[in-house]
Structure 1
Amino acid sequence: MRFLGHLIRFIVSALVLMFVGWLVPNFTVGGFGSALLLAVAIALIGWVIELVVGTKVTPFGRGIVGFLTSALVIWLAQFVIPHVSVTIIGALLAALVIGIIDLFTPLATPFNDSRRA
């Protein structure tokens, strides 16, 4: 069941990225396949960064660090994922929109799953 949960999470994330690509200027995602790869890349890189930085950060700092890290990951992903194009301003706007959408779709991170075990 965990695999199915992760699969659904990545599919929802890919759909959100496609919506953000439609909404945000200077951020384009070629199609569902590219959006799915981008969602996986964002999740993996975010998980690694959270392991390195840790969770013992003040809430204010964590919000800013998380926002800037998301924008950086989105911007860097264009060099790895085909059919993804984004400017720095587009990455900042995309991170903002994704953060707002995440407020309404609470999902556990892989880091939270390992902490429960």
Structure 2
Amino acid sequence: MNWKGAISRFVITLLLLEIFRYTLSLFPAITLGEALMIAALVGGIGYLADEVFGGYLSPPGRSFVGFIVTTTIVSIYFTHFVYPIVHTFAYVFDSIAIGLIVGAADAILGWAYQKAH
């Protein structure tokens, strides 16, 4: 499920970045190109993390890797938006929220893949 997991993380992260961009007022103004770059990094680094752990993780393992990778990448990217200190909490909250959703989706997709095979 390595490349399928990377593609699912890419798509889910891209959709979440786009949805949050339009629904949250404190979400940083990022372009579609930046969202594509962040999603590609999350998918690629998530793929490499899966490979480090042997290629096939259990659904909770995939969920944990998806959460950590997504939260880290999005947090690192959003740190350059932190000019006024007031928005720091909003960016951290957004990063954690995106990471939790991607992690939950990874777990659900992992269980579905495990039942199919």
TM-score, reference length from structure 1 = 0.52
2:51 paired with 1:51: yes
| Cα root mean square deviation, aligned | 4.1
Deviations 1:31-85 (A, max 9, x none): 21111111111111111122123356554454334323321122123469xxxx9
Question: Compared with structure 1, are the counterparts of its residues 93 and 26 closer, same or farther at alpha carbon in structure 2 (3 Å cutoff)?
Answer: farther
Q: How much does 1:20 deviate? A: 2.7
Contact 1:24 1:93 survives alignment (8 Å)? no
The 3-state SS of whatever aligns with 1:30 is: coil
2:98 paired with 1:89: no
Q: Which has the higher strand share?
A: 1
The 3-state SS of whatever aligns with 2:35 is: helix
Contact 2:14 2:36 survives alignment (8 Å)? yes
Within 5 Å, which residues of 2 pair with 1:1-117? Answer: 13-23=13-23, 27-55=27-55, 59-78=59-78, 87-100=91-104, 102=105
Between Structure 1 and Structure 2, how many residues are aligned? 96
CA distance in 2, matches of 1:43, 1:37: 10
Q: Which has the higher helix share?
A: 2
CA distance in 2, matches of 1:13, 1:67: 11
Question: Compared with structure 1, are the counterparts of its residues 33 and 53 closer, same or farther at alpha carbon in structure 2 (3 Å cutoff)?
Answer: same
Q: How much does 1:89 deviate? A: 2.5
**Identity rate of aligned residues, in percent?**
22
Question: Compared with structure 1, are the counterparts of its residues 67 and 11 closer, same or farther at alpha carbon in structure 2 (3 Å cutoff)?
Answer: closer
Amino acid at match of 2:95: A
Contact 1:13 1:39 survives alignment (8 Å)? yes
